[in-house]
């Protein structure tokens, strides 16, 4: 096994592109090291991206935020501007694992691990986040929901690395929220989860909405129909009930050790409606 710590994204891409055996990217390592210890993967090359310039920074730009691929989730929670603009994304990132894990893990890693139960992904999808992908043929920017394609699989080609996640600048009257269900209070994995992102007009009417459900299908679901129900409403009780019903219906969950199909359906709806209510309040709605 070879461990390298390149100083530029080009070097990292080059090493990954020419790797012969299995290769892995190391940022926080909170998934990679666990899988290596468990004997599930035995990479021949490990590319540590933490020394690459800019990858450990959160930058506020005219268009919004650029979150480097190696920024630990705990650092997101310490960024006041980000917390104010995207509280739902930050709360999702700060639910992953334990306090110690949050000091290492990254939202980019969470995205690329491609678990349907990833905590930060539904919040990122609801937020309309984009990823900058660096690869052998240059850079491209893609919607985060196009990254995971199945449990443990992504759309990234050989040699490609996500170097940053982009979040838009917030307009007035905007709010997002993320909720997950776990049987414990922390250090657990989502049985089912929901992220909601809203913008309101000056009268408190929902102008735009995005609703994402996690751990209820092979990848995170962006539920268009649920967003349509919210748009034009002030989130009255009837709207929230319809939202819950649509989300429950759109789920394609499985029975497993963490929950049943019936449980996940029902709770997906409950969480979507609770997250929508929180996002609405954060957006200044009453």
Partner 1 sequence: MNFDPRFSGRKFSSVGTRPIRPDGVDKVTGRARYGADFNMAGQLVGRVLRSPHAHAVIKSVDTSKAEKLAGVKAVITAKDLPDLTDGDTAMYDILDNSMARKKALYDGHAVAAVAAIDARTARQALKLIEVDYEVLPHVTDVDEAAQHHAPLIDDTIYTEGLEEKPAKPSNVTKRTQFGHGDVHSGFAKADFIVERSFKTEQTHQGYIEPHACVASVNADGTADLWVCTQGHFVYRQHCAQLLGMEASKLRVTSSEIGGGFGGKTHVWAEPVALALSRKAGRPVKLVMTRDEVFRASGPTSATSIDVKIGARKDGTITAAEATLRYSCGPYAGSWAEIGAMTAFACYKLENVKTVGYEVLVNRPKTAAYRAPSAPMAAFAVESVVDELAKELGMDAVDFRIRNAAQEGTRSSYGPVYGPIGIGPTLEAVKNHPHMKAPLKANQGRGMACGFWFNFGGQTCTDLNIGMDGSVSLAVGTVDVGGSRASLSLVAAEELGIDYSQVKAIVADTSSLGYNDMTDGSRGTFSSSMATISAARNAILILRERAAQTWDIPVDDVVWEKGHAIAKGEKYGNLSPLSLKDIAAASGKTGGPIAGHSELVADGAGVSFATHICDVAVDPETGSTRVIRYTVVQDAGKAVHPTYVEGQYQGGAAQGIGWALNEEYIYGKDGRLQNAGFLDYRIPVCSDLPMIDTQILEIPNPNHPYGVRGVGETSIVPPLAAIANAVSNAVGVRMTHIPMSPPRILAALEAEREG
Residue 86 lies near partner 1 (rule: CB under 8 A)? no
Q: Minimum Å distance from CB 263 to partner 1? A: 4
Q: Are 139 and 81 in contact (CB under 8 A)?
A: no
Residue 203 lies near partner 1 (rule: CB under 8 A)? no
Residue 260 lies near partner 1 (rule: CB under 8 A)? yes
The angle subtended at Cα 221 by Cα 219 and Cα 223, nearest 5°, is 170
Gap between the Cα atoms of 22 and 46, Å rounded: 9
Among 248, 270, 272, 279, binds partner 1 (CB under 8 A): 270
Q: Minimum Å distance from CB 12 to partner 1? A: 27
Candidate ranges 47-55, 179-187, 226-234, 275-283; the one touching partner 1 (CB under 8 A): 179-187
Among 80, 203, 257, 286, binds partner 1 (CB under 8 A): 257
Candidate ranges 12-20, 52-60, 170-178, 265-273; the one touching partner 1 (CB under 8 A): 265-273
Site for partner 1 in 29-68 (CB under 8 A): 38-39
Contact footprint for partner 1 (CB under 8 A): 38-39, 181, 183-189, 191, 256-260, 262-263, 266-267, 270
């Amino acid at each position: 096994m070879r461990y390298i710590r390149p100083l530029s994204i080009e070097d990292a891409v080059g090493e990954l592109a020419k790797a012969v055996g299995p290769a892995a990217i190391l940022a926080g390592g909170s998934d990679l090291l666990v899988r290596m210890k468990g004997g599930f993967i035995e990479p021949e090359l490990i590319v540590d991206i933490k020394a690459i310039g800019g990858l450990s920074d959160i930058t506020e730009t005219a268009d919004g935020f650029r979150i480097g691929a190696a920024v630990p989730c705990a650092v997101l929670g310490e960024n006041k501007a980000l917390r104010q603009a995207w509280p739902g994304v930050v709360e999702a990132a700060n639910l992953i694992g334990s306090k110690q894990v949050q000091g290492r893990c990254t939202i980019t890693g969470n995205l690329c691990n491609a678990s349907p139960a990833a905590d930060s992904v539904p919040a990122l999808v609801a937020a309309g986040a984009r990823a900058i992908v660096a690869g052998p043929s240059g850079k491209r920017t893609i919607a985060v929901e196009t990254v995971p394609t199945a449990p443990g699989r992504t759309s990234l080609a050989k040699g490609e690395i996500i170097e940053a996640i982009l979040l838009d600048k917030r307009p007035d009257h905007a709010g997002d929220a993320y909720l997950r269900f776990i049987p414990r209070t922390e250090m657990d994995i989502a049985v089912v989860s929901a992220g909601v992102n809203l913008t309101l007009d000056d009268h408190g009417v929902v102008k735009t909405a995005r609703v994402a459900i996690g751990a209820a299908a092979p990848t995170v679901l962006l539920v268009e129909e649920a967003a349509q129900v919210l748009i034009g409403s002030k989130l009255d009780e009837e709207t929230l009930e319809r939202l819950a019903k649509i989300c429950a219906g759109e789920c394609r969950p499985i029975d497993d050790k963490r929950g049943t199909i019936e449980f996940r359906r029902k709770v997906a709806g409950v969480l979507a409606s609770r997250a929508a209510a929180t996002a609405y309040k954060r957006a200044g709605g009453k």
